[in-house]
Structure 1
Amino acid sequence: MIVLGYNGFSRGAELFGRLYGATGVGRNLLVGHDAAAALVVDGELVAAVEEERLSRVKKTSDFPAQAIKWCLDSAGVDLDQVDVFAFPWRFSPAVAEEMISQICDSDLPVTAKFDALRSAGEVYAGMFSREAVYSDFVQHTGYELDPNKLTLVPHHLAHLMCGAYLAGGGDAAFLVSDGRAETLSSVMGELRNGVVSLFEGGTVPMTSSLGVAYGRITRYLGFVPNNDEYKVMGLAAYGPPPQHNPLLERVVRLHEDGSYTISIPMDIGAYYALFDSLFGGDSEKREQFDFRVKVAGLAQHMVEAITAHQLRTLTAASDLDTLLFEGGLALNCVANTKMLERSSFTGMEVSFGASDPGVAIGAAVYTAGLRNRPADAVTTPYLGPSYDESQVLDALAEYADRVEWQEEPDAAAVAERTAELLAGKNVVGWFQGRAEFGPRALGNRSILANPAFPDIKDIINIRVKHREPFRPFAPVVLESEAPRVFELGKKTSSPYMTFVFPVRKEYRERIPGACHVDGTARIQTVDERQNPELARLLRAFTARTEVPCLLNTSFNVAGEPIVCSPRDALECFLATEIDYLVIDRFVITKKEG
């Protein structure tokens, strides 16, 4: 059986821009963002790629035409060989009725209700309905799809199935929390013997979305909502935990069933005024670092308090030991660690596809009937395009007037040469094998450096990544070495940078470049099965320097997608102050002048 999962709406940016005033990158960040495709063949996830990696439009919500084509081509599959096409949104007639009821029951004036109904109707007819989804596929692929082959999967179910499949199956309690699905923003329940049981009491409507609330504070602080929330999380570490939180006192209400209500106006001007009154802010203060740290700390505390409230209900209702956490909120790695350590769960899994790229995977594996995978299977995020030696040489030839290169004889020599470069204060672009999938998986398209240098973060933030100087970087470490360097608590590994751990005191001075201001690090653990090239490099680097990890950040600059092809890597290398570029067995430098 062959199943193609995909996420993205071709009209999303246009409709939300015209009807709701969304502009710039915000047009792509409402519904269908992180467009992607994933292919399951005979029970195995064989390919997955985000559309942005190929189109080079960051966070695109567009129909993933290039991603679909690449997935099929990479597996040698034609469209007519696909048994089912799975789409991770299901705006059924019942959902549409609920959307209408929410508008009619709102406190809006009558004329505003009619305007809202007209806009919602146009979005539903042009984007959400089964007919619109079907027409979108036919128009952008040119393939006359049998309508019976199109399956619409509820959004939160797609999130859950992605996490369950990548965690290796098995029984687990679950929490899914994101900005919005069809009408809800958060659900909880259990997965037992492949059967999903939803705890109705813990469901949270879209109107009280924690993800949206955090996004509005993100905008208030001058960042892009539904994109830059991790910056707010990083800022929060620069201040002490709040003694009291006006958000919890005046905006959030927690209910006994594990749900909650968040009351923040939809209008930007209205919620800016609310936040100014809550935080003592104004247009000048919002530019001040200390004020932004304070507000970020309150926002982060709100997330931690609400998720802790949800977990109290979930643990009371379930006797299972493992928690699956998926959805955009699952990218808040600071909250994740506290959720696990303060709960009765012995294990917690957050997948590399936790946010919306993963729903393409989830829709595919759910439709394929997959609930479990072999316990000894290697879970890998390296599901995207790779490039052979001739393609690498073609790209190098295209830039031969600006770069020069040396070819190493084998993988061991590549590791030794790269370790030698990283022993100094050099920044290295690292490009190997297949591209990663999702926002929390690195290792094949990475920027690497030596964390022993205290100022290495500033060098990369300012001269390479072109981003805010307060932003931390994650260390990558061999899984076998991680407990020696970091306090892992209940975790034994963290391969996708979805948890934060204290750096052991004896190592803080040895790897200052990988420590955040609060002495923690968002680590990526690596083993030989999942990424042999990176594991080999780590061993060579540690043997040479006695430094147990490498600083590891995504191979891109601010505002750009992570590089995918050798040409992308060369363009980024030449546009930044990266010192060396390693593509497969080629070590590349810039020509003088």
Structure 2
Amino acid sequence: MIVLGYNGFTRGAELFGRLYGSTGVGRNLLVGHDAAAAVVIDGELVAAVEEERLSRVKKTSDFPAQAIEWCLEAAGVTLDQVDVVAFPWRFSPAVAEEMIAGISSADMPVTAKFDALRRAGEAYTGMLSREAVHGDFVERTGHPLDPNKLALVPHHLAHLMCGAYLAGSTDAAFVVSDGRAETLSSVMGELRGGVVRLFDECTVPLSSSLGVAYGRITRYLGFVPNNDEYKVMGLAAYGPPPQHNPLLERVVRLHESGSYTISIPQDVPAYFALFDSLFGGDSEKREEFDFRVEVAGMAQHMVEAVTAHQLRALTAASGLDHLLFEGGLALNCVANTKMLERSSFTGMDVSFGASDPGVAIGAAVYTAGLRNRPADAVTTPYLGPSYSESQVLDALAEYEDRVEWQQEPDATALAHRTAELLADRNVVGWFQGRAEFGPRALGNRSILANPAFPDIKDIINLRVKHREPFRPFAPVVLESEAPRVFEMGKKTSSPYMTFVFPVRQEYRELIPGACHVDGTARIQTIDERQNPVLAELLRVFLARTDVPCLLNTSFNVAGEPIVCSPRDALECFLATEIDHLVLDRFVVTKKGEGALP
């Protein structure tokens, strides 16, 4: 059975811009963002890529035409051979009725209700309904898809199935929490023997979305909601935990069932006024670093308190000892660690597709039928495009007036040459194999550096990434070395940068560039099976320097998608102060900036 899963709407950005006044990247951030495609053949995920990697439009919500084309080509199939097309949103007539009822019962003037109904109606008929989704697919692909072959999968179920498939476990309690699904923002339940059981009393409506609340505070602090929440999480570490939190005292109400109510106005001026009253802020104070740290700390504390409340209810309702956490909130790696360590769960998985890129995978997996994966199967995020040596050489030839390069004979020689460069204060672009899937660079499209240098974080933030100086970087470490360097708690590995751990005291002076201000690090663990080329580099680097990890950040600059092709890598390399580029087995240097030996 061949299943194509995809996420994205052709008209999404246009409709949300015109109907709801969204501008810039915000037009892509309401429904359908992180457009992507995935192909599952006979229960096995064989290819997946985000549209932004190919179109070079960050966070795009557009129909993923290029991603679909690449996935089918990589899988060696055509649209005619696809048995089912799976889409991770189900705006059924019943959902539409619920949307209408919600607007009709809202506390607003009649004229405002008519306006809201008009806008919702145009969005529904123009992009959300089954007919609109089917028409969009046919128009953009030119393929006369049988309507009976289009499967609409509820959004939260697609999130769950992505996590369940990639965890390789069928029995687990779960939490899915994000900005929005069709009408809900969070669900809990358990997965036993491939059967999903929702705990209905624990569901949280869209009107009380924790993700939306965190996003509104993100906007209040001057960042882009549904995009920059990780900046708020990073800022929070610069201050102590709040002694009291007005968000929990006046905005959030926790219910015995495990659900909650969050009361924040929808209108931007209204919730800015609310936050000013809660935090003692104004337009000037919002620019002050210490004030922003304090507010970020309260937002982070709110997430941690609410998710802990959910887990208490989930533990009481389910006797399972393993937890799956998926959805946009699952990218809050600080909260993830606290969720696990403060709960009775013995294990917890957060996938590399936890946010909306993963719903393309989840919709396909669900439609194909979730299957037990072999115990020895290697879960890999490296599902995207790779490039042949001839393609790499063609790209280098395009830039031969600006770069020079040397080819290493094999992977071992490449590791030694790269370790030699990284032993000094060099920043290295690292491009290998298939592109990783999801929002994190996991070692195939990465920028690497030596964390032994205290100022390396500032060098990368200011000279390479062109982003805020308070932003930390994640270390990548051999899984066998991780417990020696980091306090792992209940975890034995963290392959997708979805958990944060304290750096052991004796290592903080050795790897200062990898330590956040609070002495923690969002680590990625690697072993030989997952990524043999990067594992070899880490072994050689450790032997050469006694430094047990490398800094690993995404190979891009602020506002750009992670690089995908050799040409993307060369463009980014030449536009920044990255010192060297390791492109497959080619070590590349800019002409006039130090010749290769």
2:123 maps to a residue whose letter is V
Deviation track 1:187-241 (CA, whole Å, cap 9, x = no partner) reads 0000000000000010000000000000000000000000000000000000000
SS of corresponding position for 1:477? strand
SS of corresponding position for 1:373? coil
Deviation track 1:34-76 (CA, whole Å, cap 9, x = no partner) reads 0000001122100000000000000000000000000001111
Mapping of 1:281-360 within 5 angstroms?
281-360=281-360
1:581 maps to a residue whose letter is L
| Structure 1 contact 448–553 (Cα < 8 Å) conserved | yes
| Structure 1 contact 169–371 (Cα < 8 Å) conserved | no
SS of corresponding position for 2:592? coil
1:61 has 2:64 as partner: no
SS of corresponding position for 1:568? helix
1:173 maps to a residue whose letter is A
C-alpha separation in 2, matches of 1:6 and 1:351: 18
SS of corresponding position for 1:239? coil
**Residue in structure 1 matched with residue 478 of structure 2 by the alignment:** 478
**Residue in structure 2 matched with residue 271 of structure 1 by the alignment:** 271
**Residue in structure 2 matched with residue 252 of structure 1 by the alignment:** 252
**Residue in structure 2 matched with residue 537 of structure 1 by the alignment:** 537
**Residue in structure 2 matched with residue 448 of structure 1 by the alignment:** 448
SS of corresponding position for 2:540? helix
Post-superposition shift, 1:441?
4.6
**Residue in structure 1 matched with residue 101 of structure 2 by the alignment:** 101
**Residue in structure 1 matched with residue 527 of structure 2 by the alignment:** 527
Q: CA RMSD in A?
A: 0.6
2:163 maps to a residue whose letter is G
**Residue in structure 1 matched with residue 77 of structure 2 by the alignment:** 77
Post-superposition shift, 1:540?
0.5
| Structure 1 contact 440–498 (Cα < 8 Å) conserved | no
| Structure 2 contact 441–552 (Cα < 8 Å) conserved | no
C-alpha separation in 2, matches of 1:553 and 1:55: 21
C-alpha separation in 2, matches of 1:585 and 1:175: 42
C-alpha separation in 2, matches of 1:189 and 1:404: 56
Give the TM-score, by structure 2 length: 0.99
| Structure 2 contact 233–296 (Cα < 8 Å) conserved | yes
| Structure 1 contact 441–497 (Cα < 8 Å) conserved | no
Deviation track 1:104-158 (CA, whole Å, cap 9, x = no partner) reads 0100100000000000000000010000000000010011111111000000000
Give the TM-score, by structure 1 length: 1.00
Give the share of equivalent positions with the same residue, in percent.
Answer: 88
1:186 has 2:149 as partner: no
SS of corresponding position for 1:406? strand
| Structure 2 contact 34–356 (Cα < 8 Å) conserved | yes
C-alpha separation in 1, matches of 2:440 and 2:329: 13
**Residue in structure 2 matched with residue 563 of structure 1 by the alignment:** 563
* Structure 1 runs (4+) greater than 3 angstroms displaced: none
SS of corresponding position for 1:80? helix
SS of corresponding position for 1:315? helix
C-alpha separation in 2, matches of 1:565 and 1:439: 17
SS of corresponding position for 2:38? strand
Post-superposition shift, 1:7?
0.2
Deviation track 1:75-125 (CA, whole Å, cap 9, x = no partner) reads 111100000000000000100000000000100100000000000000000
Post-superposition shift, 1:370?
2.0
2:513 maps to a residue whose letter is G
**Residue in structure 2 matched with residue 492 of structure 1 by the alignment:** 492
| Structure 2 contact 440–554 (Cα < 8 Å) conserved | no
**Residue in structure 2 matched with residue 386 of structure 1 by the alignment:** 386
Deviates more, 1:116-125 or 1:367-376: 367-376
**Residue in structure 2 matched with residue 572 of structure 1 by the alignment:** 572
**Residue in structure 1 matched with residue 220 of structure 2 by the alignment:** 220
| Structure 1 contact 554–562 (Cα < 8 Å) conserved | yes
SS of corresponding position for 1:536? helix
C-alpha separation in 1, matches of 2:541 and 2:390: 29
**Residue in structure 1 matched with residue 157 of structure 2 by the alignment:** 157
Post-superposition shift, 1:440?
3.0
Mapping of 1:410-489 within 5 angstroms?
410-489=410-489
Gaps of 5+ in 2: none
| Structure 1 contact 487–501 (Cα < 8 Å) conserved | yes
Post-superposition shift, 1:371?
3.4
SS of corresponding position for 2:339? helix
C-alpha separation in 1, matches of 2:42 and 2:316: 38
SS of corresponding position for 1:436? coil
C-alpha separation in 2, matches of 1:583 and 1:378: 25
C-alpha separation in 2, matches of 1:163 and 1:42: 18
Gaps of 5+ in 1: none
SS of corresponding position for 1:387? coil
Post-superposition shift, 1:442?
1.2
C-alpha separation in 2, matches of 1:111 and 1:371: 51
SS of corresponding position for 1:158? helix
1:9 maps to a residue whose letter is F
C-alpha separation in 1, matches of 2:146 and 2:301: 49
| Structure 1 contact 91–182 (Cα < 8 Å) conserved | yes
| Structure 2 contact 441–553 (Cα < 8 Å) conserved | no
1:295 maps to a residue whose letter is V
Deviation track 1:476-518 (CA, whole Å, cap 9, x = no partner) reads 0000000000000000000000000000000000000000000
Post-superposition shift, 1:439?
1.1
SS of corresponding position for 1:297? helix
1:205 maps to a residue whose letter is P
| Structure 2 contact 173–314 (Cα < 8 Å) conserved | yes
**Residue in structure 2 matched with residue 117 of structure 1 by the alignment:** 117
Deviation track 1:421-453 (CA, whole Å, cap 9, x = no partner) reads 000000000000000000135100000000000
C-alpha separation in 2, matches of 1:113 and 1:26: 24
1:141 maps to a residue whose letter is T
1:579 maps to a residue whose letter is D
SS of corresponding position for 1:372? coil
C-alpha separation in 2, matches of 1:45 and 1:503: 35
SS of corresponding position for 1:38? strand
**Residue in structure 2 matched with residue 237 of structure 1 by the alignment:** 237
2:286 maps to a residue whose letter is R
**Residue in structure 2 matched with residue 5 of structure 1 by the alignment:** 5
**Residue in structure 2 matched with residue 166 of structure 1 by the alignment:** 166
C-alpha separation in 1, matches of 2:359 and 2:137: 17
Deviation track 1:228-266 (CA, whole Å, cap 9, x = no partner) reads 000000000000000000000010000000000000000
C-alpha separation in 2, matches of 1:120 and 1:459: 47
Post-superposition shift, 1:357?
0.1
C-alpha separation in 2, matches of 1:445 and 1:44: 24
| Structure 2 contact 5–39 (Cα < 8 Å) conserved | yes
**Residue in structure 2 matched with residue 87 of structure 1 by the alignment:** 87
Post-superposition shift, 1:170?
2.4
SS of corresponding position for 1:261? strand
C-alpha separation in 2, matches of 1:36 and 1:266: 29
SS of corresponding position for 1:344? coil
Deviation track 1:286-323 (CA, whole Å, cap 9, x = no partner) reads 00000000000000000000000000000011110100
| Structure 1 contact 164–371 (Cα < 8 Å) conserved | no
Deviation track 1:379-411 (CA, whole Å, cap 9, x = no partner) reads 000000000000000000000000000000001
